Amino acid sequence: MEERNKTLGEFIIEKQEEFMYSSGELSRLINSIRLAAKVVNYKVNKAGLVDIVGAFGEQNVQGEDQQKLDVYANETFMQTLINREIVCGIASEENDDFITIKGKDGLHNNKYVVLMDPLDGSSNIDVNVSVGTIFSVFRRVTPVGTPVTKEDFLQPGVNQVAAGYVIYGTSTMLVYTTGHGVNGFTLNPAIGTFYLSHPNMQFPKDGHIYSINEGNYVHFPQGVKDYIKYCQTEEGDRPYTSRYIGSLVSDIHRNMIKGGIYIYPTSSKSPKGKLRLLYECNPMAFIAEQAGGKASDGFNRIMEIQPTELHQRVPFFCGSENMVDKANEFMKKYQ
């Protein structure tokens, strides 16, 4: 079969032997995410026609206004994973705390926990700009048969067994890794099937795009200001092009294909950074590294940070290897 004609289901079955613990659970977990993504995609695509856009009237644990589609996506992904009885715990950016899940036998015998941002970039919903879903999968560290604890979720990113994102854009794509490279699958909406469209995705070593909200320039640390000026200086292959969508999934996805760096640093307004280590940075860092890119907090490798809380925020520099190295250079001058 031609590689690009493979469906996601066929690809998962074919690659199952690559999983370190090949019991079929991780394959079924990815399949569940595929199903939930199709359901959410359907709602996203008709968001302007039904009462699904706009604010829900509540705030999430971060103090941010929840969008109706945020809540819908959160419930869809959680219910799909719970109904399939393949995970023992879920943590979501939209929920204060993790939830523990029993298996079909009423026991806590499943091995995986999922952390997710069910709808990344939701402030873009009302204006019809791409949004996405981000997920991260770990094997539990507490004994099988017992309820999960916070320890199962507070693992460094290097322990991830899978991570991925869904981008609901001009086409809907599911991109994921299990530690053996990164592959992208595009949804054929006519038949509801994901097909392998982007095998072995790779960040170019160098790029010409920098993605940062320059409206916050005055609030950035000096290292970031200096790097932005470096990007704008006419020399060699510079100046670079500034491209910022404000949807992490979309910005990373574009930069992985075209070459670039995404930066969300600390600032005087967000002294710890704004992105969440567990729901956004770890999974994107895993994908970036598997695609030949890099991810840091400006100084250290993202995936080696030991989390201390579920909703921990960190600064995030992610993208083409040489661009992240150069940004880190500027940061270290002011360490």
Q: Cα 281 to the chain's mean position, in Å? A: 7
Length of the chain in terms of residues written: 335
Q: How far, CA to CA in Å, does 89 sit from each of 112, 146, 159?
A: 7, 11, 16
Is 136 annotated as belonging to a binding site?
Answer: no
- 114-167 tens-digit pLDDT: 999 999 988 887 788 899 999 999 999 999 999 999 999 999 999 999 999 999
The answer on whether 274 is annotated among ligand-binding residues is yes
User: Would the annotation count 267 as a binding residue?
Assistant: no
Domains defined for the chain, CATH in brackets:
3-198 (3.30.540.10), 209-332 (3.40.190.80)
Residue with tokens 């990007």: 231
Q: Give the model confidence (pLDDT) of 194-229 as tens digits.
A: 999 999 999 999 999 999 999 999 999 999 999 999
Mean pLDDT over the full length of the chain: 91
| 63 — pLDDT class (breaks 50, 70, 90) | low
How many angstroms separate the most distant Cα atoms in the chain? 64
Four-residue CA torsion sign, 87, 315, 184, 253: positive
Please enumerate in sequence order all residues whose Cβ is within 8 A of that of 310, keeping only pairs 6 or more positions apart, or say none.
91, 97, 98, 150, 153, 154, 278
The answer to whether 112 is a known ligand-binding residue is no
Which one-letter DSSP state was computed for residue 179? S
Q: Terminus-to-terminus CA distance in the chain, angstroms? A: 53
280 is in an annotated binding site: yes
The span from the CA of 119 to the CA of 123, in Å, is: 10
Is residue 14 annotated as involved in ligand binding? no
DSSP class per residue in 269-291:
SSTT-SEEIIIIIHHHHHHHHHT
213 is in an annotated binding site: yes
Confirm or deny that 121 is annotated as ligand binding.
yes
| Nearest-angstrom CA–CA distance, 213 and 261 | 12
What φ, ψ does residue 220 adopt, rounded to 5°?
A: -80, 155
107 is annotated as contributing to ligand binding: no
Does the annotation place 205 within a ligand binding site?
Answer: no
